[in-house]
Structure formats: C-alpha cells, structure tokens
Chain A
Amino acid sequence: MAHVVQPLDQPSNYKDSQSRLERSKQQDLLSKSTTLYIGNLSFYTTEEQIYELFTKCASPEDGGGIKRIIMGLDRNTRTPCGFCFVEYYTHAEALASMKYVSGTKLDERIIRCDLDLGYKEGRQFGRGKSGGQVRDEHRQDYDPGRGGWGAQAQVDRRREVEERYADAQDGPGAVASGGGEWKEVETRGTLKRGRSPEDDGDNTRLANRSRIDDPEAERM
C-alpha cells in the first residue's frame, strides 16, 4: 500500500532522546511495540477520558485491551503535564491508534500518538527545567489547556487534577503492571500465589537487558 500513500502507522521522527539503545535495536522494538506516547494532552484530561478513546482501538476478542495508562506528571508538582503512555496488550492495537486516533481530538485538543519503545521507570515525569515538558518551557502562546498563564478556566477540574496524583511515587513498583496473561492459579484455601516459571522468565530477561537509562520522554 505504501506505493500510493504513506501509511499512518509508521514510526515518525519521535524518539526518546535519552534512550541509549542502538538505532537498529530501537527500530526492532518499535516494530513490535505495544506502547504509545500520547502528546499535546490538556493538563486536565483524565485517564478515563484517554481510556474511553483508546479502547476504541482495542481488540479484546484477540486477547488485547488497554493494559495500562501512565500519566505524565510534572516532576515537582505531581500534576499532569500534558503527555501520557498508553500500553496495549498487542502491537496491532497500537498501530490502530496510530491510524485512527492520532491527529483527532481528545478533550477538544488534537492529540498526537507515536509508537514508543516501552515505558521504563522514571519516564512518567516531565524533563523541563520547571518540572513539566520541555515544550512548555519555551512556549510563547496562551494555552488554557496546558496551564495557560494562570488559567482561570476550568477551576473545578484543576482542583481535582491537583489533588489526584499527590500520592504519586517514583522508584520500582510505582506504576502498576496492568496484569499479564491468563495463568493457571491455585486459589482455593491459600492466599499465596505460586509464581509460574514464565513470570520469573520475564523479569530476569528484563534485568539482564543492558541498562537503559531513559528517564524521560521527549521529542526531538
């Protein structure tokens, strides 16, 4: 199909500029990615609004669905700073979002989706000097959805937003995994859940991977 038009589900020039991975490795990861970086969100947009829109690209009958949403937070204030990660169970769902959702409106803003290498601890925080995203450091315009200049609009929404992530933590385990594949579990009579061999496999594989130090998500 690429002969006549450029498909919309190709990786764009978005990248995690702090990723230390080689380019071929990055491309390989993107070609299987189940995670999207979502940009240009309003600071007031909630995870449930994001869930509602992105669930339209989910394929639960194929074992898919939204695995988790990681809201991008201002490092200092712990309030949403206009980006998030949406992680699906399957790559096809991420591609569907690129094709059908990227460039449409959510909460009355045109949002942008990009295939992402996958969430790593720490990437939920903005990397701008003042704690938010870099793009908001240099922005000249008045943008009521992204903090404006003291945005009076949406006072109630702002109050909720300010409180919501006050308990956000960093470090390992701060972000939920979203639940894995179905596994045979021994439930009756015991509260302990035996870990299946695959569980361990996943973890060790992650741990063995060369250290990836990419604490923030930002476009070039």
Chain B
Amino acid sequence: MSNDRYHRGAGGHRRRHNRDREEHDYHDRRREIYDSPEQVIKNTIIKMGEVDPTQEVPRVAKQIRDGPIIVPAISEGIRLGVTQQPYKIPYYAALLRLLHDPAPSQIESSTSSSAPSLGKQVLEDFWKGFQGYLDKLAWRDIRLCIHFFAHLMVAQVISIESMSALLQSFTTVLDEFGVSYGRGKNAALCAIEGLLIAGAVIKKSSSPNTGEIIKAIQSFNESITSSKLLVQPMVSLHSDSPVLENADELIDNGLTVLKALEESDFLDAWSNVPQPYLDYPDLDPTVSSPFELPSILVPPEVIELDGLATDAGEDAQVKKEDWPEHFFYLFDNTVTPEPASMSGFLIRSNVRDIIDIFEVNRKECARLLLEYPKWCVPGTFKPRSGAPPTEEDPNAKNWQLESAVIETILGTLFLFPEPPHKAVYYIALITELCKLSPSTVGPAVGKSIRKLYILLGNGLDVEISRRFAEWFAVHMSNFGFQWVWKEWVPDLALVEDHPKRTFVHRTIVFEVRLSYHDRILKTLPDPMQIDLNVIDNQAPGPEFEYEDPTNPYHDVAQSILSLLRGRSRVDEVISHIDTLRISLESTSIPLPHPHTSVDALIRSLAVQCLLSIGSRSFSHLLNAVERYLPLLRGLANPNPAHGGGDETEAKRNILDAAAFFWRRNQQMVGIVFDKLMQYQIVDPTDVVAWTFGHAGMLDGMGDGDPGRPSCIGAFEWDLIKGALDKANGRVMVARRKVAALRKEQDDSIARAKASGGADVASMEADADVKPIKQDDPAAESPQLKIALKAFTSLTREQKCALSRTIESFVSCLALSPSDPRHNPYGQSVTTEQAWQKRLTWSNDEWKTWETWGWYRHFCRMYAPYLRNYATTLSTVGFARIQDSVDPAAELMKKTWDIATGQEV
C-alpha cells in the first residue's frame, strides 16, 4: 500500500495529504488518516508477534515505556488483543509481566517507588473492560480474559489467592437455583479453562481450591444427562445412556482432563502450552507485589420481557437454550489433538474461538488457522513438508494441522440443534482453506468425507447427514464437481432408502440445483448414470398435466392459458373460470382421478396453468402469482355463493396441483409452497398437513405406493421446516412491530410532554409519527391495534402448525396396531435387536428410522417454541397416545419431555 509513505510525512506532507484525501473522498476511497499516539500504541500491541513473538515482546515493552505512556490506550490494545487474538494471550501476559517489572530507571536509582508498577496500572484499567464483559455476560470475552489472568498468575503478576477466588466465583454460578444450562455451561468452561492454565500453580499454593472447583463442575454436569441423548451425533434409539462413539461432550472432556490433572497433582500440566514469561527472571515480591484481582459476582441473566402473550396467555417470547456440545471426531488422537488431554482441550478451544471470532472475514480466518502452529509449542503440529527437520522430541505430538482444523470446523457445523453461525459460513471457510493450501487441506477434506460416509447407516443423525450433503454439494460446486464417485458404486447394491443411498441421491440433487443436470451427470460413473435412485434420467422441469393434446381437459386448459399468456385482466380470467365450472358441472364425463369434485378439478386446472406461465423462472413465478393473486385467493377460499366447499380441501388441492406440476423438481416445490405461504394463499399448517399427508409418496415420480407406511424423509422435512419457520418468523416480525410501535408511542408521548403540548412532530422530517394527545396517553394508536391483532392471529397459527406437526409424527410412528394407518416398524426399529440386524432392513424400516430422526430433530430444533406452548401442544399432539404404554409412544413422549425441559 502506498499509504505507508504518508506515515513518515512531516508538516508539508500532511497538508498535501489532506488535499489528496479530499480529492479521493470524492471517489469514496478510504485513506488512512494520521494515527494519534493512542492509535499507534494500540496498533503496536494488536500487531505484536506477527513475525517472532518471543523477540517482539521485549521490544514492544520498551516502546511502551519510552512513552508517551497512555495507560487507557495500552490496556485497550491488550484487551482487544486478548479477546480477538486468543492465540497471542501467553505473549500478552509476557508483555504485561515486563510492564510490571520495575522500570529500568527505578532499578538504576535503586529507589523502591511506592507508585504502582505500569503493569498494575494497566491491569487496573483492563479490569474495567473485563467488568464490562461481565455486565454484558459476553461469555467468550470473559473466558478469554480469564485465560489472560491465569497466565498472569503463573507469571507472578496476579496473586494466586485472588485468581483462585475468581475461578471459584464462576462455580458459584453452578449452584444457583434454576441456573439455565447455557449459563452453567459457560461459567463451567471459564472455570475449566482457567484451571487448566493456572491449576498447577494453584495446586501448589497454601490453600488450593482445585478439588472444590472440580467437584462443583462435576455435580453440575451430572445433573445434565438426558438432554445429551438428544444432541449426540450418533443416534441410538434403544439406549438410555449417551453414545460415546465419535463424539465427546465438551464439559465431559474438560472434567476428564481436570480430574486426571488433579490426581497427578498437575504434574505434567505444562508440556504443550507456550509460557514465554517463564524465561524471565523471578520477581522479588517485596519490590513487585502481585496485583489483587477484585472479587466479582457474575451478574444474573436479564431477560427483557415485552409482556406479549398469546390469546391463551402463554408467553410467546423465544428463549433459545443452549444444549450440551458434542463435538464430532473423525480422526484418532495421534492425528488430531486429543480432546481429553490438557493441550488438546486448549488447542481445540483456541481453534474454535478463531473460527468464531473471525466469522466476519472467512479469508483471514483461513489464513490464521493455517498459521496457528506458530503460536504453539514446537512439536505440537507436524512440521510442514519441506521445513527443516526438527530434533526428535519424545514429547512431540506431531498432530496434523489440516485434519485438526477441518475436524473442528465440521464438529462445529454438526452441533445441535444448530451451529453458532449459518452452515454456509463453515462451508465457505473450508473452501477458503482449500484455496489457500490445496495440497494439504484437500486430502484432509477427502478423508473427512470418506469417514463421514462410512457412518451413514451406522447411526449418523439424519440432520448431520443432511448438513453433510449440503456441505458436500456446495464444496464440490467450488471445485469443479470432482469427486471419485466410483468408490461408492458397490453401495448401489444397498436398498434405495439406506442412508448411504439417500445421501448420494440428495447430494446429487443439491449439485444439480447449483449447476445443471447434464454437467452433473457427466461427473458420474456409468452405473450411477443409469440408476434412477442416483440421478433422474432427465433435467428437472415442469410436468404440465394438461399439456398432452390427448388429455380430455387439454382444450379447457388451453383456453385458460391463452388468457393468462395474453395478460388478460384478472376479473376476465375469473369469470372465464366460473363459466368453465358451470359447463363442467353440467357434463357427464366422469371426473379424472384423483379429483373428487368439479371444484377440485378447476383448482388443478387453474393452478397448473398459472404455474405453467410462471415456469420459466422464479421471477416469472412471482409475476404470475402477483398478477393473478385475486384468482388464487378465490380458489383457496371457496365462495359460499357457489356451493362453497371445504377451505382445507381447497388449499390441499392447490398444494396438490403445485406438487404435481413440479414433481420432477423438488426445489421448485419448496419455492412454490414458500411463495404460496408468503402471498397468504395457504397457511403454514396447510403445508404441514399436506406434507404429512403425502409422506413417503414424494420421492421419485411422485406416485408412491399408498400401502407403504407414512414416513418423513429429508425432502419432506425441508417442506415442514419451511412451513414452521414461516409461522415462527411471522410471529417474530409481528412482535418486533408491536415493540416498535409501542416505543414510537411512548416517545411521542414523552416528546409531547417535554414540549408542553406543542406540536413537535411538525418539526420532524418523518411526518408519519403523530404525537399522541397528552390528555389521552393510554390510547393505542390504530396501527398498534392492528399490530396486536396480527400478533394474536399469528401466534394462533404458529401453535396450530406446531401441534399439527406433533400429531402427524405420532401418526407416522406410534399409532396403536388397531389403527389402519399403524406403521408396523414404528416400534421395531427402536429396539436393539432390530438395530443389530439393520443390514437386512427393508426400505420401510430405514424410512421409519429416518422419521424417528426427524421427529427428534423437530423436538430439539423447535424446543424454544415447544417449551412455551408445552401444555397445549402436548395435550393436542399426543391425544391419541396419552395413556399408551407402547414403547414407541413412550419414546415419543420421553423425547418430547427432554426437549421441553420436563426431564433433565
């Protein structure tokens, strides 16, 4: 950057620079302005260590001491460094330790000054920032500050007693009555990580509290058992104890490490974490007394209640709850950091923090991840090939960086109920890593894909399998769709609904959506190209039922189409359709299957014609729907004057027509359903009901065997999720609207009061805000009334959609054997014997197993909503199995109880 030269500029340059800047501003270009001394200090501290941290720390310390000394700037620089570059924390501790050392001038004059050391002054200011994080309960920042304090304690800057007390304050949180899991987990992590760093010294101190802290975390952790059953990556429907295969829970791991350390008196605690400050000479405690951390109280969680309730008086506010974090492992402990070891735990924590912090810039994040080994003790990661060979160190771990990074990213992507950021972030991050270092990251990605694939059909959760397919497809779309499909050809011998086969099918469907049919077809080996359960034999497209001239309704459809194509006015189209209805009613031709009434046939005709003119693109669809909205509304809401009809049936007919029309393009089914909800032609509940009504019949050509049990696959789940998200999203928008209007009203009352009743709004640019008359403060504005009414309707719809989903899952899995729709496998696939024989499972058994998976995911995913309405929903949803002791019914209710927090 040529900007650098301006930094050296003297006065004359500055003037020129300013003139330049004005000119450049015109082009909206960002130019660096001269840095203030504060900014210089901050930048120096933030950038410290980029080349050689051990060398740079003393240099930066000297630069700071040489002044000007601006304590707030120093402490802010360190605070930003600590909370945004956690891998540098040991070096920031070293820096502070050097600032805490007596100043060289003091040593020379050998006068022991009574003024606190610079280090102490900085820490005092730093503490204010830490207090700020505490007040906001910014847990990651709090935890990283604790890393910093722990290192400082080891570096003799902070007193052991005050550090022990700080860690203990976090375990007090665990004893709080009714502590939420999220709060407890975060507090426990603070204590665990702090103790991992500081434990060895605390243990040797006069009054060690390590045992006490470990015990508190353990008893908290033991109180959480059943919720772990619902969030582990490997599912075992028959087991009541967590499956420990391939994934450990985070707090479990932390405890394992701590307990082992406690038993060994923290002897080998320090082999793999950098401690640059230990190279400095010991401090004389009489000259440099340690800093005493003030005592703290972790503030309680504040939940802002907006007092909005549903018409049944339930609280409708969504409180997302944390769940235990089971991180997925793909590699063994010789390849990637052992999660239940001291250094493995801290390294993984560091990598997770980098992934989280640098979410704002995935490219930088990828670079920092690949540079991570430089912040570790040599021998932690295997040196890059081509690097000079290091001396054989018996303690060297030689873990593989790329495998560790990919494993951690995937582990986070596969967290339940959802990853902390959008899935596409993790996908894009892996893409960047591959672009930065294809030869080392590529193989790690390939290995991860193969290892995940093996787990399909061996218990891998259905939602992980879905995220896996999504990642795979997007990843391949960034790398030329190059995958060695050949190695999976032998699996074509498995039944079509085996998880491996549904995965391959779904991945290819996703790839085709991102690319096009011919392109993807060419990437497949011959046996896959001709297998309809792998890829369709033609490109996805519309299937207009009445296009065929031999269809008895071809001409009728053409008459509607020509009006639509000519962009006839909507009332003309409506009256034409009314005429058609009358003439069809008077004919004696039997109605074509599956229509049972002329109305149903009319709906099918009209909707398919409309979709036909909208089939060219998404925009064409929107245009068609928007132009003929009144027509669609009329179809969806049968007019009593015309003999009426069932509204539910009308909506089902519309969805039937859409799904039929797009039966060779699942993406479009999803899009059309979404827009039909958006334009309020159908409600989310209609979509939920329709999807369950067609469950098991949507795959392939759309006409499944009605004799098969009703089951939910990934495509059906996507439709259900689309409907539930729509219902929930609307409530969210309505809530925000009410809040905004209330605030607006309060503000204008306050303004009116402040101005003594004068019309202040006339001064405002936005004339929409009318002040409420002072004498009538309680009156709700008409807009607010409308918003409140909308909120009530929408929460009703939301509950309706949710309870419909539960009820329908019950129908899929746990109806009593006497019910004609009883699924014979609903219970059997949950048993251990059946699971052991899964190699012989039929399609129906696999589909039923998958349905169980989606039910579990529904419960954990929508738990915040389910919890609010738990009583109503379970009464309605479980009505048919309320008293059943059938194992399938019991398992459904148990899963529900875990999700809604009625069983912990």
Q: Which residues of A approach B to under 8 Å, CB–CB?
A: 1-9, 13, 15, 23, 46-49, 51-53, 56-57, 59-65, 68-71, 96, 99-101, 103-108, 156-157, 164-165, 167, 175-179, 181-185, 187-189, 191-193, 196-198, 201, 220
Contact = CB atoms under 8 A, between A and B. Distances in A.
Interface of B: 27-29, 42, 46, 80, 84-85, 357-364, 422-425, 427-428, 431, 470, 474, 477-478, 480, 510, 513-516, 518, 571, 574, 616-619, 622-623, 625-626, 629-631, 633-634, 636-637, 639-641, 667-668, 671, 674-675, 678-680, 722, 725-726, 728-730, 732-734, 736, 768, 782-783, 786, 789-790, 793-794
Contact of B422 (A1, A96, A175, A187): A96
A183 B477 contact: no
A104 B85 contact: no
Given A104-B478, A108-B515, A188-B637, A62 B363 contact: no
Given A8-B363, A23-B28, A106-B477, A63 B617 contact: no
Contact of B789 (A13, A107, A184): A184
A4 to B, nearest CB: 5
Q: Label chain B's interface by main secondary structure.
A: helix
B619 A13 contact: no
A57 B424 contact: yes
Nearest to A164: B616
Given A48-B667, A165-B616, 5 more contacts: A52-B514, A68-B622, A184-B789, A187-B637, A196-B786
B679 A179 contact: yes
A11 to B, nearest CB: 9
A124 to B, nearest CB: 9
B623 A13 contact: no
B619 A71 contact: yes
Contact of A3 (B80, B359, B361, B640): B80
Contacts of A69: 618-619
Contacts of B674: 65
A184 B637 CA distance: 14
A47 B790 contact: no
A201 B768 CA distance: 9
B623 A191 contact: no
B278 to A, nearest CB: 27
A49 B514 contact: yes
A175 B431 contact: no
Contact of B633 (A13, A99, A156, A187): A187
B619 A176 contact: yes
B341 to A, nearest CB: 29
B514 A4 contact: no
A19 to B, nearest CB: 12
A184 B683 CA distance: 12
Given A8-B363, A176-B626, A182 B639 contact: no
A188 B646 CA distance: 12
A53 B514 contact: yes
A104 B431 CA distance: 8
A177 B768 CA distance: 23
A60 B640 CA distance: 35
A116 to B, nearest CB: 15
Given A46-B617, A96-B422, A182 B360 contact: no
B733 A182 contact: yes
B571 to A, nearest CB: 8
Given A3-B46, A65-B674, A101 B428 contact: yes
B163 to A, nearest CB: 27
A47 B619 contact: yes
Contact of A13 (B29, B470, B675, B722): B29
A46 B671 CA distance: 14
A199 B394 CA distance: 73
A84 to B, nearest CB: 10
A59 B424 CA distance: 12
A60 B622 contact: no
A57 B678 contact: no
Contacts of B27: 13, 220
B480 to A, nearest CB: 7
A15 to B, nearest CB: 7
Contacts of A198: 783
Contacts, number: 184
B790 A5 contact: no
6 contacts: A47-B618, A57-B424, A60-B725, A165-B617, A179-B622, A182-B733
A112 to B, nearest CB: 14
B251 to A, nearest CB: 27
Nearest to B423: A56
Given A4-B84, A60-B729, A189-B639, A108 B362 contact: no
B616 A184 contact: no
A139 to B, nearest CB: 23
Given A1-B357, A5-B364, A182-B794, A61 B729 contact: yes
A179 B730 contact: no
Contact of B640 (A47, A189, A197): A189
A52 B361 contact: no
Contact of B518 (A7, A99, A156): A156
B156 to A, nearest CB: 29
Residue among B28, B360, B423 with max Cβ neighbours from chain A (10 Å): B360
B680 A183 contact: yes
B626 A65 contact: no
Contact of A108 (B431, B480, B510, B794): B480
A182 B794 CA distance: 9
B318 to A, nearest CB: 9
Nearest to B477: A105
Contacts of B477: 105-106, 108
B636 A183 contact: no
A49 B46 CA distance: 42
B803 to A, nearest CB: 18
A103 to B, nearest CB: 7
A53 B794 CA distance: 29
Contacts of B629: 193
B617 A103 contact: no
A186 to B, nearest CB: 10
A104 B428 contact: yes
Which 6 residue pairs spanning A and B have beta carbons closest together?
A: A176-B622, A63-B733, A7-B360, A60-B725, A56-B424, A63-B729
Contacts of A100: 362, 422, 424-425, 427-428
B619 A70 contact: yes
Contacts of A197: 782-783
B479 to A, nearest CB: 8
Nearest to B368: A5
A57 B422 contact: yes
Residue among A53, A65, A165, A201 with max Cβ neighbours from chain B (10 Å): A65
B734 A189 contact: no
Given A7-B361, A61-B732, A157 B516 contact: yes
A164 B633 contact: no
A192 B793 CA distance: 21
A157 B732 CA distance: 41
Given A8-B362, A9-B360, A57-B424, A71 B518 contact: no
A86 B679 CA distance: 19
A201 B783 CA distance: 12
Nearest to A51: B618
A115 B897 CA distance: 44
B802 to A, nearest CB: 13
A167 B617 CA distance: 12
Given A9-B360, A56-B423, A179-B679, A49 B515 contact: yes
Contacts of B422: 56-57, 59, 96, 100
A4 B80 contact: yes
Nearest to A93: B422
B678 A65 contact: yes
B786 to A, nearest CB: 7
A99 to B, nearest CB: 6
Contacts of A5: 358, 360-361, 364
A48 B668 contact: yes
Contacts of A185: 633, 680
A173 B636 CA distance: 25
